[in-house]
Structure 1
Amino acid sequence: MINEENRVSCVVFDWAGTTVDFGCEAPVGAFMKAFEQEGLPVSEAEARGPMGLPKRDHVRELLKLERVSALFAEKYGRAWTEEDVDRIYAASVPALMAVLKDYCEPIPGVVETVAELRRMGLKIGSTTGYTKEMMDIVAPGAAARGYAPDSLVTPDETGAGRPAPYMIFRNMEKLGVYPPANVVKAGDTLADVREGKNAGVWSVGIIEGSSELGLSRDECAALSTTERVDRFAAVRDRFYGAGADFVIDRITELPKLIEQINKLKSHQETK
């Protein structure tokens, strides 16, 4: 018998790359365009590196890259400053805002999985690296396609984004759930994993559709069996390296994982 008070009561999802926008493509293109305009071209892999952080922080992390810092110094004859972060971030915003409406489609399995989680009695929260202004486009677009969490918290609301835990704590407050051991955070980036760990909740990485995998839906489907195994294994290792408690291949595996966590919690309770 599992004590109801010792069960997982809430899942807090990330958005792009986890529940919508397979491959987390919208922000990648916006950052690449903004840096290109500055004469500082970044690769897709570089652009994805800090994914999951608040978008201004994302720009700063790209400027910190040794190659990009050197390129900046060569082009401008000085080291970059916070003014440069602000300028490049400002350039990325309209590029991102212009395309967000086209990246609201739920990732396959999301709508059905969320319905199953709700049948299990769980509440659905969400955190993001997007601003409230950006989510004012994404959230209604996703809702029109069948996905609407019970709670949404953006970095603007808490004053700090990932890897800080405050967005998760605000979700817990809004939804009336506690303790952290009864909450699961699920996301597609290393920043998501660290956010969950810093909040003291169960932290789960999801591979398929993730920015860490970095493939579109068609590219993922086209992988050979060997390629899929190798690519997924590399992402799994990175998630675990960031501290993930569990890593699953796709979101549809989450209900069974939560049952597993509940059994683990029950076993710990009876020790």
Structure 2
Amino acid sequence: MKHIEALILDWAGTVVDYGSIAPTSIFVEAFKRGFDFDITLQEARGPMGMGKWDHINTLLSEPKIRTRWEAKFGRMPTPQDVDHIYETFMPLQIAKVAERAKPIDGTLEVIHKLQASGIKIGSCSGYPNAVMEVLAPAAAEYGYVPDCAIASDDCMSGSRPGPWMALENVQHLGISRVASCVKVDDSIHGITEGLNAGMWTVGIAITGNAVGLSEEEWSALDSSQQQGLARNAYTQLSSAGAHYVIDSLADIEPILQEIESKLARGARP
């Protein structure tokens, strides 16, 4: 490929942590430990892809959650409440993230093949540096070593859905033009990040947040259940503006060939 210069990959649900389980379950636990307040896994998944403080703040701004909060505490949530939940979340996440560092089947082979062909592999995450300092070495033990890793607190302007983490990769990788980058993500906010940065975007449906099941849970479903969840995931990511949607990063090579052809014809995202 002569025109694609880099892939900018999300972490959980895209390369590692099938189903994006690690962050979601910890949000539920942090709310419970911090305030004895219950949120569901589905609610926790809603803002996935954002920086974790912003994620908690967004959850507490959801009308249904705010109503339950006010009924329980007799007041609306405050920024101090967000701080407390975040401070509860962080050590729990750091303790657990390495357990979900194994790359999803098929992703390493594709990544290594692309790196060998000269395509750079960037990465960014809703995780802050304190979590990435645990996750990145754990993933490296399995053989996943991106050429760049940007955490949610590396950018002064903020994190997703803004373009800053994706564009920070462009700078660190020495990319000549943003339109030569492909942003790959399993969350709506991650797709929006790529669009805001002016990149091609590819949504990951089955292995990520849009379905939200572990590999074992997914495999236990019958075909009709899988088809229904897949349909919903594809619709969700397409509606977010993804140029393409695929089941897994392992399936991306035909998409890259199509983007390569479009770039050769002068097309832009």
TM-score interval for Structure 1 and Structure 2 normalised by the shorter chain: over 0.9
**How far 1:203 sits from its partner (Å)?**
0.9
Shift of the alpha carbon at 1:88? Answer: 1.0
1:8 match: 4
1:91 shift after superposition: 0.9
How many residues are treated as equivalent by the alignment?
Answer: 265
2:60 aligns with one of 63, 69, 73: 63
Determine helix, strand or coil for the equivalent of 2:212: coil
The Cα shift of 1:39 comes to: 2.7
Q: What is residue 115 of structure 1 aligned with on the other side?
A: 112
Give 2:215's aligned residue. 217
Superimposed CA distance per residue, residues 67-120 of structure 1 (whole angstroms, 9 cap, x where no aligned partner): 210111112211111111111111111111111121111111111010121233
For residues 29-77 of structure 1, the C-alpha deviation after alignment (integer angstroms, 9 at most, x for no partner) is 1110111231320111001111111000110111112121011111221
In the alignment, does 2:196 pair up with 1:198?
Answer: yes
Once the two structures are TM-superposed, the CA of residue 242 in structure 1 deviates from its matched residue by 0.7
* C-alpha contact (below 8 Å) 1:186/1:193 kept by paired residues: yes
1:74 aligned onto 2:71: yes
TM-aligned CA deviation for residue 230 of structure 1? 1.6
Contact (CA 8 Å) 1:21, 1:106: kept in 2 or not? yes
1:220-231 correspondence to structure 2 within 5 Å: 220-231=218-229
Of residues 2, 13, 17, the one that matches 1:17 is 13
Alpha-carbon deviation of 1:208?
2.4
1:180–1:201 CA contact under 8 A, matched in 2: yes
TM superposition shift of 1:221: 1.6
Q: Deviations over 1:227-246 (max 9, x none)?
A: 22221111011101111111
Aligned to 1:164: 162
**Structural mapping, 1:1-271, within 5 Å:** 4=2, 7-37=3-33, 38-159=35-156, 160-268=158-266
Mean Cα deviation higher: 130-139 or 59-68: 59-68
Q: How far is the alpha carbon of 1:225 from its aligned partner?
A: 2.0
Q: Is the 8 A contact 1:40 1:68 kept in 2?
A: no
Is the Cα contact below 8 Å between 1:23 and 1:213 reproduced in 2? Answer: yes
Q: Take 1:71 and 1:77, find their aligned partners in 2: how far apart are those partners?
A: 10
Q: Deviations over 1:156-180 (max 9, x none)?
A: 1112111111111111111111311
Kindly indicate whether the alpha-carbon contact (under 8 Å) linking 2:7 and 2:119 is maintained by their aligned counterparts in 1: yes
Q: Could you tell me how far apart the structure 1 residues matched to 2:211 and 2:148 are?
A: 27
Distance 2:36 2:136 in 1: 33
Q: Which consecutive unaligned segments of at least 5 residues does structure 2 have?
A: none
What's the RMSD between the two structures over aligned residues?
1.3
Tell me, yes or no, if the aligned pair for 2:184 and 2:191 is still in contact at 8 Å.
Answer: yes
| Cα distance in 2 for residues equivalent to 1:174 and 1:86 | 31
Q: Is the contact made by 1:203 and 1:246 (CA closer than 8 Å) also made in structure 2? A: yes
Give distance in 1, aligned partners of 2:172 and 2:253. 23
CA distance in 2, matches of 1:129, 1:81: 22
- 5+ long unaligned stretches in structure 1: none
Alpha carbons 1:110, 1:147 under 8 Å: kept: no
Deviations 1:241-260 (A, max 9, x none): 11111101111121221111
Q: Percent identity?
A: 34
Decide whether the 8 Å contact of 1:32 with 1:44 is kept in 2.
Answer: yes
Distance in 2 between the 1:256 and 1:116 partners? Answer: 14
TM-score normalised over the length of structure 2: 0.95
- Matched residue of 1:257: which SS? helix
Say if 1:50 and 1:58, in contact at 8 Å, map to a contact too.
yes
Q: Distance in 1 between matches of 2:72 and 2:63?
A: 14
Specify the SS of the correspondent of 2:201.
Answer: strand
